[in-house]
Amino acid sequence: MNAFVADEALTPAGPDASGEPEVLLRVDNVSLAFGGVKAITDISFDIRKGEIRAIIGPNGAGKTSMLNVINGFYHPQEGTITWRGKVRRKMKPYEAASQGIARTFQNVALFKGMTTLDNIMSGRTLKMHRNFFWQVLWRGPAEREEIEHRKRVEDIIDFLEIQAIRKTPVGRLPYGLQKRVELGRALAMEPELLLLDEPMAGMNLEEKEDMSRFIIDVNQEFGTTIALIEHDMGVVMDLSDRVVVLDYGKKIADGPPEEVQASQAVIDAYLGVSH
Amino acid sequence: MFYREAGQFKTSYKADQALFPILQDRIGIAVILIIAFAVIPAFANDFFLTSIMIPFLVFALAAIGLNILTGYCGQLSLGTGAFMGVGAYAAYKLTSIFPDANVIVMVLVSGVFSAAIGAVFGLPSLRIKGLYLAVTTLAAQFFLEWCFIRIPWLYNYNASGAIEVPRREMFGFIVTGAEALPITRYFVVLCITAGIAFLMANVLRGRIGRSWMMIRDMDIAAELMGVRPLRTKLMAFAVSSYICGVAGAMMVFFWLNAAEPSSYSIRLSFQILFMVILGGLGSLGGAFMGAAFIWILPVLLKFVPGLLGIDIAAETVEHATFMIVGALIIFFLIVEPHGFARLWQIAKQKLRVWPFPY
């Protein structure tokens, strides 16, 4: 396995000779434990560039922990993560962010005291560089930079159709819109890999349809690779290119939606087995 | 009806993200500035300037400083008084080491020392949050106060243990020392406070201000958006302490003329904190309103019995003032826990829709 990783590191971007799609992120034999509780045991899978990858599983299967490992909140005790062909060292979340990994949260984690506009602008933080001195002066470089990024943010606001709530503090917005603003904030980072933790939780059918459309658009128009956790199986099967199924911290299936749907292990995990 | 932005269309992002995008606000701020720079100097007497306006502006600046840290970055601090003291002692040492230097420059430079010390005491903020952080800043308060008493070098080995402001001139005007005219001091304090408030408004609407608010609202998500928590928090501590330091230096140089270590005690920290909470966390305008309420109201209340022709002892008036102000604080916090800044927002909304209820 290690030899394979080393080979990968030498391969430049783009599909390799065998015609296999480029792997953006590879998780190899990752295990994560909190004291005696094993959240993730020996999981390996990969996320290919440009695909929509779903991670599903019953509650407590370790899906969110997996995302936390990918964006640097948790540090796995064992295993390696290979990002764009390079084995990743232990890193902080802000380093993962600067490498192009963005994410939304299961329970909305917006900046409640700020407006929709400011929340999405906050996604541009890493791309803005004017220092304190220029910020104090405002006129000149700092203002130009702000306007330049404001344009990009307005594009995202148009894309998500949230023009009307631009200046509304997000704390006052209904849940469905908050989820949408959170997606906008992640998009403002122009990520290469977008991790969505239950983007449709608690939504009604119409909101789910909207959100699904946004996810597909993001994937196809911007070419963003997406890894999503979702419990709505209809959505997962329709949206995703490949699905990985976790149960009790172990991987029980991996493959295209139809294949996973037919897998006996998955059916057992979801419906239970009689002993 | 009176405050309606209808018809004020913005055609550029520059205009949309201006400090005061609405015409009525621009008129309002212009009126306030005219009153502060022209009307008050023209009509106010010395008592009004020295006992009301100068301390009000000094406290407003300190409240802005604490508001940056507590209101915008969400880091609770009880060390404000001590950081102000650092500014005061630094300015005092600087003026005695460089007697010929411009005193206003010295006051502004003294903030750098309190910024450095503030950043050091901000280090625990990476691990400690909320009330627990307040307790660690309390350590700064006690330690620095101890320094002001026990390190005689800080007060030039005075027998009294107090710092006394030397006489300094600038462009032929006496700006500090006992002979300085209240009107001169008032202008200096007004310019510094208004200037720093304006510059901070700039910082707060840009990337740095946003990253402070991101840390305040949801630090985990902030980290994920690429904000480095330690750097951002320490910056908030440094900027906040700089402003508090300048306010502390102004307090002794342009208002009190002399200060003892006890001038910068925990009492001062609490006073500033109350101004920030009452004015509204996370609002620059609120800092001014809070300072006005805590400082100006008691002074004015003392004149009420005289104006009404009631003859009561001065001490009784003093006690009554304490009680009335205390009751008003409770009243306002029940009416609007988010402070005067929020009340002002609600009032603006009412003015917008008047005469209709919504």
Which of A118, A123, A132 is facing B208, going by the closest CB pair?
A132
B35 touches chain A (CB under 8 A): no
Here the ipTM equals: 0.86
Find the residue in A nearest to B219 (Cα): A111
B218 touches chain A (CB under 8 A): yes
Confidence bin at A18 (pLDDT 50/70/90): low
Other beta carbons within 10 angstroms of residue A177's beta carbon come to: 18
Average pLDDT of the residues of chain B: 91
Confidence bin at B1 (pLDDT 50/70/90): low
What is the distance between the alpha carbons of residues B128 and B2, in angstroms, rounded to a whole number? 46
What is the pLDDT averaged over residues B87-112? 93
Q: HSE on the CB side for A16, CA within 13 Å?
A: 13
Q: What percentage of residues in chain B have a pLDDT greater than 70?
A: 100
Strand partners, A37: A34
Q: What are phi and psi of A27, to 5 degrees?
A: -110, 125
Strand partners, A250: A247
Residue with tokens 């988010």: B338
B199 touches chain A (CB under 8 A): yes
pLDDT digit string, tens, across residues B300-327: 888 877 788 777 788 888 888 889 888 9
What is the pLDDT averaged over residues B83-96? 95
Tell me the two tokens of residue A49.
């560039």
Which amino acid would we find at residue A154?
E
What is the distance between the alpha carbons of residues B203 and B265, in angstroms, rounded to a whole number? 30
Confirm if B307 and B75 have CB atoms less than 8 A apart.
no
- Which is it for the CA torsion A99, A101, A107, A113, positive or negative? positive
Q: What share of chain B is helix, strand, coil (3-state, %, to 5)?
A: 75, 5, 25
Q: Examine the pLDDT at A9 and tell me if it is beyond 50.
A: no
Alpha helix locations (H) across B218-313? 219-224, 229-250, 266-279, 284-291, 297-301, 304-308
Nearest-CA distance A141 → chain B (Å): 12
Q: Is B172 exposed, middle or buried (0-12, 13-18, 19+ CB in 10 A)?
A: exposed
Q: Examine the pLDDT at A141 and tell me if it is beyond 70.
A: yes
Tell me the two tokens of residue B1.
């009806």
Find the residue in A nearest to B197 (Cα): A136
Confirm if B165 and B223 have CB atoms less than 8 A apart.
no
Find the residue in A nearest to B220 (Cα): A109
Give the start-to-end residue ranges of the domains of chain B: 44-266
Q: HSE on the CB side for B221, CA within 13 Å?
A: 26
CA dist B143 → A221, B70, B89, B253 (Å) = 59, 21, 15, 23
Chain centroid to CA A208 = 17
Q: Which residues of A touch B12 (CB under 8 A)?
A: 147
Residue with tokens 């603006």: B348
Nearest-CA distance A215 → chain B (Å): 20
Beta carbons of B208 and A123 less than 8 Å apart: no
- Which is it for the CA torsion A107, A110, A115, A117, positive or negative? negative
Q: Which of B323, B276, B325, B279 is nearest to B300 (CA)?
A: B325
Confirm if A55 and A78 have CB atoms less than 8 A apart.
no
Beta carbons of A110 and B227 less than 8 Å apart: no
Strand partners, B7: none
Q: Is A129 exposed, middle or buried (0-12, 13-18, 19+ CB in 10 A)?
A: exposed
Beta carbons of B214 and A98 less than 8 Å apart: no
Nearest-CA distance A188 → chain B (Å): 10
Tell me the two tokens of residue A120.
């999405």
Which of B12, B210, B282 is facing A122, going by the closest CB pair?
B210
B214 touches chain A (CB under 8 A): yes
Q: Is the peptide bond before B355 cis (omega within 30 degrees of 0)?
A: yes
Nearest-CA distance A234 → chain B (Å): 29
B8 touches chain A (CB under 8 A): no
Confirm if B177 and B293 have CB atoms less than 8 A apart.
no
Q: Which of B28, B240, B257 is nearest to B115 (CA)?
A: B240
Q: Which residues of A touch B199 (CB under 8 A)?
A: 136
Beta carbons of B226 and A97 less than 8 Å apart: yes
User: Comparing A98-112, B38-52, B284-298, B314-328, which segment has the lowest mean pLDDT?
Assistant: B314-328
Q: What share of chain A is helix, strand, coil (3-state, %, to 5)?
A: 40, 25, 35
Query: A195's torsion region: left (phi>0), alpha (psi -120 to 50) or beta?
Result: beta
Q: Which residues of A touch B220 (CB under 8 A)?
A: 73, 93, 109
Which of B12, B13, B228 is facing A94, going by the closest CB pair?
B228
Q: Examine the pLDDT at B15 and tell me if it is beyond 90.
A: no
Nearest-CA distance B227 → chain A (Å): 6
Q: What is the pLDDT of residue A8?
A: 41
Find the residue in A nearest to B235 (Cα): A132
Q: What is the pLDDT of residue B175?
A: 82
Q: Is the CATH code 3.40.50.300 the one for domain A1-97+229-275?
A: yes
DSSP B37-67: IIIHHHH--HHIIIIIIHHHHHHHHHHHHHI
What is the pLDDT averaged over residues B231-255? 96
What is the pLDDT averaged over residues B8-31? 88
Q: Is A140 exposed, middle or buried (0-12, 13-18, 19+ CB in 10 A)?
A: exposed
* Residue ranges of chain A assigned to CATH 3.40.50.300: 1-97+229-275
Nearest-CA distance A98 → chain B (Å): 6
| Candidates B196, B203, B207, B346, partner chain A, best to mutate (most A CBs within 10 A) | B207
B223 touches chain A (CB under 8 A): yes
| Candidates B224, B235, B242, B338, partner chain A, best to mutate (most A CBs within 10 A) | B224
Look at residue B313 and give its three-state secondary structure.
coil
Residue with tokens 């783009």: A14
Tell which wins on pLDDT, B357 or B49: B49
B171 touches chain A (CB under 8 A): no
Q: Which residues of B touch A153 (CB under 8 A)?
A: none
Beta carbons of A97 and B224 less than 8 Å apart: yes
Find the residue in A nearest to B229 (Cα): A94
Beta carbons of A103 and B207 less than 8 Å apart: no
CA dist B32 → B27, B37, B55, B197, B290 (Å) = 9, 9, 18, 14, 16
Residue with tokens 């005790």: A77
What is the pLDDT averaged over residues B74-98? 94
Find the residue in A nearest to B236 (Cα): A132
Q: HSE on the CB side for B313, CA within 13 Å?
A: 3
B225 touches chain A (CB under 8 A): yes
Beta carbons of B211 and A125 less than 8 Å apart: yes
Find the residue in B nearest to A191 (Cα): B225
Q: Examine the pLDDT at B91 and tell me if it is beyond 90.
A: yes
CA dist A86 → A24, A52, A89, B264 (Å) = 10, 21, 9, 55
pLDDT digit string, tens, across residues B31-50: 999 999 999 999 989 989 99
Q: What is the pLDDT of residue B2?
A: 74
Beta carbons of B208 and A185 less than 8 Å apart: no
What is the distance between the alpha carbons of residues A217 and A214, in angstroms, rounded to a whole number? 5
What is the distance between the alpha carbons of residues A224 and A50, in angstroms, rounded to a whole number? 6
